[in-house]
Amino acid sequence: MDAQTLRDGLLQLILLIISIGLHEFGHAWMADLRGDPLPRMQGRVTLNPFAHADPIGTIAIPAVMILLSPGFGLIGWGKPVQISLPNPKTRRMDDIYITLAGPAMNLVLCFAFAVIGGLGNFDPKTQEVIIDFLRMGIILNASLVVFNLIPLPPLDGSRLALRLGLYSEELFLTLARWGFVILIILINLPPFTRLMSAGIRILVLPWFGLWDLLS
């Protein structure tokens, strides 16, 4: 592994830890806003990414995938935010808002990286690392949005499907038993990875467009 590859890999790993952490913070913050006391009691309403990191899913597995490129796909994850949804009258909408808040935080990060990149007036020759970090941040967070909206447990898309009535409780629980295995299979199938890549390309376009507009 040459120095450039190692640098890019470490940048990507740092970005992933930050981005997953803020994704989980989004869930916790919205739950707190909607009157759910559990995330705050568990110390999850914090911007500290390590409060949301899973040692295996956020650090170990992504490090192996990024730095060693084993030739097959695995997925990373953060420490799930536990919620209690204490208000029966608003439980459905509370769950929808809380679920959407995670991907929404990744979109906020895309916006922030694009604005910093556009207004920063960085010199490509002397500040290449900063530019790479910002561009990688947009792509990574767009990827997290697309990936998390896949309607398979334990991803956010499955809870949206449940709360929007697209899944019955029985179907959701059945998928939950096999969701992780199905995801591992899917991310190693070329047609699925091409579909994901197309979705990511579509999502990053407006952010790089904003970057260019502000430059």
Q: Count CA within 13 A, CB hemisphere, residue 194.
A: 3
Tens digits of residue pLDDT in 49-99: 999 999 999 999 999 888 887 766 767 899 999 999 999 999 999 999 999
* pTM of the shown model: 0.94
The C-alpha angle with vertex 146 and arms to 144 and 147, in degrees rounded to 5, equals: 65
* pLDDT over 80 at 122, yes or no: yes
Q: Which residues contact 80 (CB under 8 A, 6 or more apart)?
A: 24, 154
Q: What is the pLDDT of residue 71?
A: 67
* pLDDT over 80 at 37, yes or no: yes
Band (116; pLDDT cuts 50, 70, 90): very high
Tens digits of residue pLDDT in 100-111: 999 999 999 999
Q: Tell me the C-alpha distance between 88 and 91, whole Å.
A: 5
Q: Tell me the C-alpha distance between 135 and 84, whole Å.
A: 37
Q: Tell me the C-alpha distance between 209 and 215, whole Å.
A: 10
